[in-house]
Amino acid sequence: MKYINWTLEKCSSRKGFIILLIVCFWAKTMLAYFVDLGLGITNPFQFFIVLINPLATTTLLLSIALYFKKSRFFYPLAILISILNTVLLYLNVIYFREFTDFMTVSTMTGYSKVNQGLSGSSLALTNFHDIFYWIDLVVIIGLLVFKKIKIDPRPLNHRIGLAVTSFSVLFFVVNLSLGEMDRPQLLTRTFDRTYIVKYLGLDAFTVYDGLKSQHNNDLRATATKSELNDVLKFTHKHYAKPNKKYYGIAKGKNVIIIHLESFQQFLINKKINGQEVTPFLNKLYGSKSSYAFSNFFHQVGQGKTSDAENMLETSTYGLPQGSLFAQLGSDNTFQAAPAILNQRRGYTSAVFHGNIASFWNRNNVYKNMGYQYFFDASYYNTTGDRSLGYGLKDKLLFRDSVKYLQNLQQPFYAKYITVTNHFPYDLDKEDTNFKTTNTGDNVVDNYFLTAHYLDQAVHEFYNYMRKTGLLKHSVILLYGDHYGISNSENTNLAKALGKNPDDWDDFDNAQLQRVPLIINIPGKKNGFISKKYGGEIDVLPTLMHLLGISSKRYVQFGTDLLSKQHDQVVAFRNQDWVSPAFTSISGDIYSNKTGQLMKLTKRQQAQVKVDRDKVDNELSLSDSLNEKNLLRFYHPKGFKNVDPRKYNYADLYQKELRIEKRLGKKSTSIYSENGDKSTWNEYFTDAPEIHHKTTDSNRIKITNPDANNNDSSR
């Protein structure tokens, strides 16, 4: 009791109060560092730096209050600074649990455009110990209110404030020097954002990131046409000629993109309790009408789904920080698939997505990409149990989109963005009877449930396409956008994969970034599963060549996966990379054969240097292209920059009907091909929201993708 009274007495002075706030914030920062954030501490020296790195910036911020003489300003300001610093800390904790990354200024300033990125799953991301991030502030404010900590009316000499500020700056310089000793070029060569946090703390990282973002904005404003030359030189040299065997084999066909949310490669052919998790996708993957890739990697950064879309549509990378869609997409110039296919082959383009249009700023970005139609949540009934956290359930999305899809003029380029297989992987019990794993981790266990549901949704859509004849006139591209299980959950996932969690390491995390890519062309009989290494950056040139459209004139960083000249070095957004022989993680080189760190021969060192330099250069050039909006200066033959003012996503259904009526017999829509009758009745789903009772007799059966496409009995 005497110790408590003594402590309260010391905290009743202004200096003691500031020290109390510093100690409390230091303690919860340590909680974040060692419990919630993966900082990768590997030696005692790094451990020491982590212990001291919050002190300099916290003291510097709180020293501001010392300059105010009146207590009515000093105490509220000191408390406000502590609250704001805690908000920053806690938001990073929540963000890290979902994205295994730290919040950047770009992420914060783009929050209104990506607000569901956290809010949709924020409750599931909280833990019981989170109370300790806030309880100190509640207690301190309570002690002030009840006068256990007394207000000190005595003003401090302004020299004390200056001394504390000076000490904080000096201490930060020492902290930075220690960080540079362990990681040279810490700030000039930002290899990984984790390093900045580990060595300098979250406050310093946020300031550093803000300055870098402002620098990028300045670069964008002063960019010139000549800066495009290095980009063109790289992409022209990097171009891979199409394989004559596959060039144009899908010419004139509709393109249907099915965006498999959070879908990882290990789900393919995975069985749980003797039952396949994704039986229909397994059949597509191994079908003779499919070209599938077993070493295909996602390459997203903080933009996650939006990064995957950007790579798919433009064959350029997302940003090193934040989301390109959210930060730059409103006024960026794109040479994207919808515009290219429309201008070269007369394709109609549409996106079907059961979430709000502003999520990831899609309502603006899609216009700049040349999408003519965007059917967002406002076009669907999303009430009640028809929706989950991120929008309309997948089975209902595919079914309810028929109303709009059937009126699109063919050939069309249509993208379906699924959402049910999204963290935190919630699903109503009546939506599935799949018996999942029992790892003790709800995220891992539920992931298999929602993946199974997604598989069924895709199968139902295929049945509709087969019945209406749409399937034989289309190429269907299915791909996983990014990881579903984060690195922090992978040790629990290891149990489900039959691996020892204690043996799990960074190499395993890197290999788990594989996602499926399936290009299904019904009617073809020479399909195969390729072992070539590739990534999302390679999808667009591959698709264009299959459609018989050369990608050579466009600025694309990927290469055709089916080309003999395809580049198999896959760059990750954090500058790690993987190739058929090596995996590079934070500069360490692992052997893909053994999974062990390598001692490189001189020949291997030379190859690794070539690959590393290529990755660094490629990412740097893509960043320059997007951050400076250099495509506004480039006008390839036959391509006109998109005018977003041409597109209005309101009342699209009525617009389609007017086009249908005006074209009359010249219409090429599915509706017209069906004798001006709706194909709605051709769609069957076992979704309980449609069939309130689901029995074994009305469940879908797995059909053979290679079967006769004219067979409408399935």
Give tens-digit pLDDT for 413-471.
999 999 999 988 989 888 999 999 988 888 999 999 999 999 999 999 999 999 999 99
Rounded CA separation 289/292 (Å): 10
Map out the domains of the chain as residue ranges.
1-220, 255-646
Q: Is 437 a catalytic residue?
A: no
The pLDDT value given to residue 83:
97
Residue-wise pLDDT for 210-231, tens only, equals: 887 787 778 778 888 999 999 9
The pLDDT value given to residue 527:
96
**Tokens standing for 100?**
């295994």
Pick from 336, 286, 408, 458: nearest CA to 673 = 408
Report the run of H or E that residue 446 belongs to, with start and end: helix 442-468
- Burial label, 19 (beta-carbon count in 10 A; 0-12, 13-18, 19+): middle
Residue-wise pLDDT for 91-137, tens only, equals: 999 888 876 678 877 677 765 555 555 555 566 778 899 999 999 99
Give the type of residue at 661. Answer: K
Average of per-residue pLDDT across 396-414: 97
- Alpha carbon of residue 335 to chain centroid: 21
Mean of per-residue pLDDT scores for the chain: 90
- Per the CB < 8 A criterion, the answer to whether 539 and 257 are in contact is no
425: left (phi over 0), alpha (psi -120 to 50) or beta: left
User: Which of the residues 29, 305, 542, 679 is marked catalytic?
Assistant: 305
Rounded CA separation 435/277 (Å): 9
- Per the CB < 8 A criterion, the answer to whether 110 and 326 are in contact is yes
pTM, rounded to two decimals: 0.78
Residues 6+ apart with CB under 8 A from 207: none
Which of the 8 DSSP states describes residue 678? -
The pLDDT value given to residue 711:
35
Q: Under DSSP, is residue 61 helix (H, G, I), strand (E, B) or coil?
A: helix
Rounded CA separation 531/550 (Å): 24
Does domain 255-646 match CATH 3.40.50.720? no
pLDDT at 67 over 70: yes
Residue-wise pLDDT for 149-181, tens only, equals: 999 998 888 889 999 999 999 999 999 999 999
Rounded CA separation 566/707 (Å): 32
128-137, 182-191, 389-398: least confident range: 182-191
